[in-house]
Amino acid sequence: NLKDMVRRSAAVRSTKHGVHRGMSSVTIPPPACMLRPLEVPFRYLFGPGPSNVPPRILAAGGRPIIGHMHSEMFGIMNDIKKGIQYAFQTSNNMTLAMSGSGHTAMECAVFNIVEPGESVLVAINGIWGERVAEIAERMGAKVHTLFKTPGGHFTNAEIEQALAKHKPVLFFLTHGESSAGLVHPMDGVGDICHKYNCLLLVDSVASLGAAPLLMDQQNIDILYTGSQKALNAPPGTAPVSFSERACHKMFNRKTKPVSYLLDMTHLSNYWGNDGKPERIYHHTGPVSGFFALRESLAILAEMGLENSWSHHTEIAEYLWKGLEDLGLKLFIKDKDLRLPSVTTIAIPEGYDWKELLAYIMKHHRIEFTGGLGPSVGMVLRIGLMGYNCNKANAAMALAALEDALKQCRKSKA
């Protein structure tokens, strides 16, 4: 049997060196599941991410591996940097992609900019502000918060009042709050931050490529996004960019950042951004992930940012109208504040939202999701991003939802 075979093969004798290993110390047999082929179902990922990856990006990720320190890899990283500069609309030299999901960029920004004891202001109107507040708290910052329930947004006057009161070194705002389906107005926020000598950190994970955002023109100091939303690459890389003002704060610290992996003094060298003639090993970047990210940024560049923005808006409006025709209420009342990439629907009265989602997954192979963090139990979320963003998919999503509303019984309560 299998156990005996493992035992016999490991009872090795080496006469040359006089080594006798005797009975093997391997007592755990190969797991049965690992002796079966990998099985992954096909699903329409119409939730808030990850989104379906187009064949062209899958093919790029499947290219043969090269070394993370090869000159050709550095060339690909340079391309990625230029692609991010275009997507972010920035000329910042300190532009790169993190080896990890959006949370990695989130932590990188906070860990490198803020020192223990410094004041940070976080706008919370969904889950992402909650996360940043916790990250800043964990590394010893004095965290102050501006709070609104999901779907709420902050006026520039409210932001200015809080900046004047708390005098933070960093203010965090989510551009695309995917847990609530809200896109936050950005005009003037950067100017107010700079008036109070504060850096502006913005999360655009759910909004980049889907809603207009201009890093340099809107005076954003640190901007990050994720690879798996409108960019349609697999999860695992996270573009981020730092302004000159952010770099000045970051590279004149009294203390080292709490994370070695996310330390920008090392990462800036790995990405060829520190002006030094040689790149020195810091960590092994996700080579295949970078191939896929480069391809996704190339697709965005070919399409053009303005075209991508208007396309996402057009499909979102088609979806919104279809949802209203089904008698559903959109969670964000003001059209201008709706995130084009992730639409939130108020849970229809009398329905069990979990039952609706399970029915749609089982009978239509479509993923929609419920809320996240503070929006759980308040909304259903439909995401149509990048490759998934077209009328045929919007129509398929509407038909699946209509079917579920007919088939899932309303509760008697």
Tokens of 38: 């990998």
Amino acid at 39: E
Residue with tokens 């093919």: 59
Bridge partners (DSSP) of residue 210 are none
Distance CA 105, CA 250 (A): 14
Q: What CA–CA distances, in Å, run from 210 to 89, 312, 338?
A: 14, 6, 11
Interior CA angle at 261 toward 256 and 265, to 5°? 50
Distance CA 391, CA 261 (A): 42
Identify the H or E element spanning 245: helix 244-250
Distance CA 215, CA 88 (A): 6
Bridge partners (DSSP) of residue 199 are 170
A 10 A CB-CB count for 272 gives 17
Helix axes 287-303, 71-88, angle to 10 degrees: 40
Interior CA angle at 276 toward 272 and 278, to 5°? 75
Starting from the edge strand earliest in sequence, which strands make up the sheet with 119-124, in order?
Answer: 94-98, 238-242, 222-224, 199-203, 170-174, 119-124, 142-147
Amino acid at 265: T
A 10 A CB-CB count for 259 gives 14
- The verdict on whether residue 7 carries a ligand-binding annotation is no
Distance CA 150, CA 351 (A): 21
Distance CA 379, CA 371 (A): 5
DSSP-assigned letters across all residues of 165-193: HH--SEEEEESEETTTTEE---TTHHHHH
- Residues annotated in a binding site for substrate: 381
- Residues annotated in a binding site: 381
